[in-house]
Structure 1
Amino acid sequence: MHTAEQLSRDLYQFHADGREVPREYVIPAWGLRDRFGIVITEPFGDIGASLLVQNFINMFYDARPERRERDPQYPEIYVFHVGGTFGNHSPFDFYPARKEVFLEADSPTLLERLNDYGITHLALPECDPGAVIEPNWWADRHAFLERTQWASLYSASGRVQDPSFFICGLDPVVEANTRAALDVEGRLAWLDEVTPEDVRPRLAGPTPLHEAERWVRVVRERSGEVSAADRSRILRGRESFVGTNGLPTESYRQIAPTDALRFMGG
């Protein structure tokens, strides 16, 4: 849970309607029991929404500051890999490993899993909207609409069409986890030099040795999910997007939860 110390609200600016706005103008509600989910359909596609993910991490800790140190917890954020395995996201604090959910490319099943995991705030990749999806169970649609408070579209490129809001990073540290996630070789080289006992203090709270061993095993097992060529391409694209000052600006389009049911099936 390195993000508890690494990230803070003052690292970002929100812009909407042609002006700077407070975060609450864009994301008005976040409570103690809320959960954020992001759907990805390509290798590390959510890097284009990294600032949004970071702000939901901040909101998780801001809702109850004791979660950072006195009662340490990992943020309630989930990534749904739809149609493939698209990279280990533990460097973004999607942890424990159960917070990465793997699904076939099937919209009704995705709807089921969003309900199962109690997602209240949702980010979907931009696509052409389709018809409202026909769920496997009629109740799934009602449960989703009752629970989901907020939804938005993002792009793997960091730029959506017809954006309704922007998030600006104000410090290069906001790119640190992106670089760490893409540097699989560096992480494996580090693991070759340490033991699980060395790793344990770097994980949150009273992490026992067996959990540190499991984390090391998962990192190694998932190291080949995204090829070196793809990771290099993603990194070059991100560096070009961020520019020489290391300060990214990403755009998003907020949608109603009812419309999310169309973009799931698009």
Structure 2
Amino acid sequence: MHTSFQLQSELFKIRIDGRSADLADLFPDWTGHDRVGVISNSPFAPLGASVLIQAAVTQFFNHRRENIAHFTKLLDREGEREVLERTLKRAELTGRRNDPAAAATKAKIAFGAYAEIYVLHIDKRTGDHSSLDVFPANREVTVPKDFIAVITQLADLGITRLLLPEGPSGDATLDWEIRAALRDRIQDVFVYHPEGRVSDFNIEISATSPVVEENPEAVLSAREVIAAIETNFGPNFSERTRNALALMRSRINEVSEDVVRGVKERREARLVDGMPSESYRRIGLEEGLQVLSGITGR
């Protein structure tokens, strides 16, 4: 939840169809019920859409800020604010003021939730993306390489903005009721490339600060992130942080060190002054279903 304070709208320079745009143009009609689903079919593929994902996170918190009275009322109604404030006070008294869990508590008091970002790994897990604030752990799910299984998972998660890795098209035949349900819910489909640039793009987003690269860098540096937290806080961190570190540690070997190194080197090579720039193609739902069918080998 560190992203609630880290990311701001001005960190993203957006162009749509060659014209300057903003987050509202990128994600029109955003609501408190929007959920972003990112399909991943290769190691750390979603990092090819890291700027778009972080823009979505920013839009999520922008919406919370604009409607803060509503979300504060929900916390107060459930009596949760008082519990959170007591938790934060306890952290400060025990020397854990800057513990990651304490920072998350502050953000929860301010915003009430993590951004609704989900990564759907096709066939097998392909890297831990929690440093992009894809958290808690149930927001990274593994789905069989089966078109209907993935479609069902998207529906069950209530995905409204879909990010697909670029690939060949396939047969997207569906029963009409399934297609109608998807059409009613999914508002945007974006095609991205794991290496950050797609062919025939109509959207380009460039970071205006190296801050936007901090989270992707952390994704590819899990061992260093764990070591830094343990060094900075020693044994004096919360059980919640300890559990989060254990989960990160358990997922380190999903992708070999050689593959991680290759992804990292290629990513660093395409940064401009330490900042990422990526392109995407916004497409209609029907074309998106065809791409998804191709990805799942239907």
Give TM-score, length-normalised by structure 2. Answer: 0.80
Residues 21-170 of structure 1 aligned to structure 2 (within 5 Å): 21-65=21-65, 66=68, 68=107, 69-134=109-174, 139-170=177-208
In structure 2, distance between residues paired with 1:190 and 1:22: 35
Q: Indicate conservation of the 8 Å contact 2:11/2:209, yes or no.
A: yes
**Shift, 1:197, TM fit:** 5.0
Q: 2:219 aligns with which of 166, 175, 181?
A: 181
Q: Among residues 218, 221, 233, which one is paired with 2:262 in the alignment?
A: 233
Q: Which amino acid aligns with 1:236?
A: E
User: Unaligned 5+ residue runs, structure 1?
Assistant: 201-208
**d(CA) in 1 for partners of 2:154, 2:191:** 16
The residue type paired with residue 11 of structure 1 is: L
User: Residues of 2 paired with 1:214 and 1:231: CA distance?
Assistant: 24
The CA deviation string for residues 130-163 of structure 1, in whole angstroms up to 9 with x for no partner, is 121446xx64332111111111100011110100
Deviations 1:147-206 (A, max 9, x none): 1111110001111010011001100111001111111221343465456751x4xxxxxx
Task: Report the counterpart of residue 203 of structure 1 in structure 2.
Answer: none
User: 2-side partners of 1:174 and 1:197: how far apart?
Assistant: 29
Assess if the C-alpha contact under 8 Å between 1:163 and 1:253 holds in 2: yes
| Pair 1:261–1:62, CA change in 2 (3 A) | same
Partner SS, residue 265 of structure 1: helix
Equivalent position of 2:247 in the other structure: 218
Q: CA deviation at 1:99?
A: 0.5
**1:21 deviation in Å?**
2.0
Paired letter, 1:81: H
Q: Which amino acid aligns with 1:62?
A: N
Give how far 1:19 is off.
2.5
One-letter identity of the residue aligned with 1:228: E
Q: What is the total number of aligned residue pairs between the two structures?
A: 253
Identity rate of aligned residues, in percent? 33
Question: 1:235: how far off?
Answer: 0.8
Q: 2:230 and 2:22 mapped to 1: Cα distance?
A: 44
Q: Distance in 1 between matches of 2:53 and 2:235?
A: 28
The one-letter code of the counterpart of 2:275 is: L
In angstroms, what is the RMSD of aligned CA positions? 1.8
After superposition, residues 247-258 of structure 1 pair within 5 angstroms as 247-258=275-286
1:205 aligns with none
Amino acid at match of 1:151: V
Give the distance between the partners of 2:22 and 2:229, measured in 1 at CA. 41
SS in 2 for 1:259: helix
8 A Cα contact 1:196 1:212, kept in partner: no
**Change in CA separation of 1:196 and 1:162 when aligned onto 2, cut-off 3 Å:** farther
Q: Structure 2: where are the runs of 5+ without partners?
A: 72-106
Cα 1:77–1:232, aligned 2, differ >3 Å: closer, same or farther?
same
CA separation of 1:213/1:140 partners in 2, compared to 1, >3 Å: closer, same or farther? Answer: farther
3-state SS of the aligned residue for 1:64? helix
Secondary structure in structure 2 of the residue aligned to 1:48: helix
The structural deviation recorded for 1:110 is 0.5
Contact preservation (8 Å) 2:210, 2:275: yes
Aligned partner of 1:162: which letter? D
Change in Cα spacing, 1:71 to 1:191, as seen in structure 2 (3 Å) is closer
- Greater radius of gyration (CA): 2
Q: Write the deviation string for residues 30-67 of structure 1: whole angstroms up to 9, x where unpaired.
A: 10111111101011101110010001101111111147
2:2 and 2:290 mapped to 1: Cα distance?
Answer: 36
Q: Please state whether the residue corresponding to 2:110 is helix, strand or coil.
A: coil
Verify the 8 A CA contact 2:23 2:59 in the aligned structure 1: no
Alpha-carbon distance in structure 1 between the residues aligned to 2:26 and 2:135: 26
